[in-house]
């Protein structure tokens, strides 16, 4: 567990060095020291470093860390709530809703703020519809929630198709397609800071609910007999996990596999206790996405969409997970 923060810091430093203008770790630390008044560097050099480090790379690395943490901890939380290690954050329709919202934002305005707000709002709406459908015929069981999420996801996927069909094929349609592949490139520090606070707070609350989630994952009746307020807990966790995954998707678009594979890896490293698993997943998810973004920026001459990279990395990672999977499921 203590190695995970170290790995996160190391990967963040590494990511800061990579780019069109390569920097060494020493230069970055020197700049940071100068910023704290511990060191002196020439003004023009300081400006250049400020530009590369603070304006360009820092927002990107922070965004990667936040999005990775949000996807992985919401994935782990959903897995506990649904008692199924094969669940990913999209289970209740959050990704379908966000995709439609972003596409709608691109169609209507194209301004990043509109796109992000629309993606976020539609992601919440999609989960609301999924949970609502599940509860139509009395308090929802797990299976009903899964079905509600499928229905809501299908609804928003078809709405997305309508938007794509009506979008201008010269500029709007490519923009939608690129958004769906995920990107960390167009974020500034303000956006990242704005989304960062709720993501960190939400992940921390989820981790604090870890022990209750352990009980919940044993079954509703058992959890109630242990004094756990099952419905309150389940919907609190769904709300928090939806909030942070919706924020991450609206920032960075579709980035698949992180929310499914990273919690698995964390479970293999540290065991299944949620009080440990949730923070570990967040740290590991942040590290994973920073490294995936390094690859996305450096494997080809042009940048590769980060969603494509995580999917390509996710497949072998998931096969490894299957190999080491414990019995008791599958």
150 binds another protein (CB under 8 A): no
Does the footprint of another protein cover residue 293 (CB under 8 A)?
Answer: no
Q: Which is nearer to another protein, 174 or 219 (CB)?
A: 219
Place of tokens 């590769």: 304
Q: Is 236 in the site for another protein (CB under 8 A)?
A: no
Measured from the CB atom, is 126 or 262 closer to another protein?
Answer: 262
User: Which of these ranges, 90-98, 103-111, 209-217, 243-251, lies near another protein under the rule CB under 8 A?
Assistant: 209-217
Cα separation, 136 vs 28, in Å, equals 56
The verdict on 329 binding another protein (CB under 8 A) reads yes
**Helices 306-324, 258-270: inter-axial angle, 10-degree rounding:** 40
DSSP state of 93: S
Could you give the angle at which helices 230-252 and 58-81 cross, rounded to 10 degrees? 150
User: In angstroms, what is the minimal distance from the CB of 87 to another protein?
Assistant: 10
Stretch that binds another protein, among 8-16, 43-51, 222-230, 289-297 (CB under 8 A): 222-230
The C-alpha angle with vertex 268 and arms to 258 and 325, in degrees rounded to 5, equals 90
Rounded to the nearest 5°, which phi and psi values hold at 318?
A: -70, -35
75 touches another protein (CB under 8 A): no
CA dist., res. 76 & res. 81, Å (int): 9
267 belongs to the binding site for another protein (CB under 8 A)? yes
Report the residue from 154, 177, 201, 208 that binds another protein according to the rule CB under 8 A: 208
328 lines the binding site for another protein (CB under 8 A): yes
Q: Is 227 in the site for another protein (CB under 8 A)?
A: yes
Minimum distance between the CB of residue 211 and another protein, rounded to whole angstroms? 7
Cα–Cα nearest to 191, from 89, 97, 63, 313: 63
Quick one: which segment of 104-112, 138-146, 196-204, 221-229 binds another protein (CB under 8 A)? Answer: 221-229
Cβ atoms within 10 A of the Cβ of 272, count?
A: 17
């Amino acid at each position: 567990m203590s190695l995970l923060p170290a790995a996160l810091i190391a990967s963040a430093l590494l990511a800061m060095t990579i780019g069109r203008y390569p920097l060494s770790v020493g230069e970055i630390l020197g700049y940071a020291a100068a910023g704290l008044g511990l060191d002196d560097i020439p003004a023009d050099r300081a400006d250049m470093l400020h530009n590369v480090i603070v304006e360009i790379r820092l927002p990107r690395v922070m965004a990667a860390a936040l999005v990775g943490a949000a996807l992985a901890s919401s994935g782990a939380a959903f897995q506990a709530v649904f008692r199924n290690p094969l669940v990913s954050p999209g289970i209740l329709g959050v990704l379908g809703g966000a995709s439609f919202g972003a596409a709608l934002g691109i169609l209507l305005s194209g301004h990043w703020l509109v796109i992000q707000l629309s993606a976020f709002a539609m992601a919440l709406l999609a989960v609301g519809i999924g949970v609502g459908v599940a509860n139509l015929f009395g308090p929802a069981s797990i299976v009903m929630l899964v079905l509600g999420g499928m229905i809501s996801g299908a609804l928003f996927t078809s709405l997305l198709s309508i938007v794509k069909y009506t979008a201008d094929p010269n500029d709007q349609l490519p923009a939608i397609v690129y958004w769906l592949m995920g990107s960390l490139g167009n974020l500034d520090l303000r956006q990242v800071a704005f989304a960062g606070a709720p993501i960190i707070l939400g992940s921390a609350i989820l981790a604090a609910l870890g022990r209750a989630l352990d009980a919940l994952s044993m079954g509703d009746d058992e959890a109630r007999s242990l004094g756990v307020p099952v419905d309150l807990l389940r919907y609190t966790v769904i709300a928090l996990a939806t909030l942070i995954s919706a924020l991450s998707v609206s920032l960075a678009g579709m980035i698949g596999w992180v929310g499914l594979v990273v919690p698995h890896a964390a479970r293999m490293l540290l065991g299944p206790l949620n009080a440990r698993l949730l923070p570990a997943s967040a740290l590991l998810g942040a590290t994973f996405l920073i490294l995936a973004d390094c690859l996305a920026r450096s494997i080809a001459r042009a940048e590769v969409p980060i969603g494509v990279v995580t999917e390509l990395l996710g497949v072998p990672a998931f096969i490894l997970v299957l190999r080491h999977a414990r019995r008791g499921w599958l």
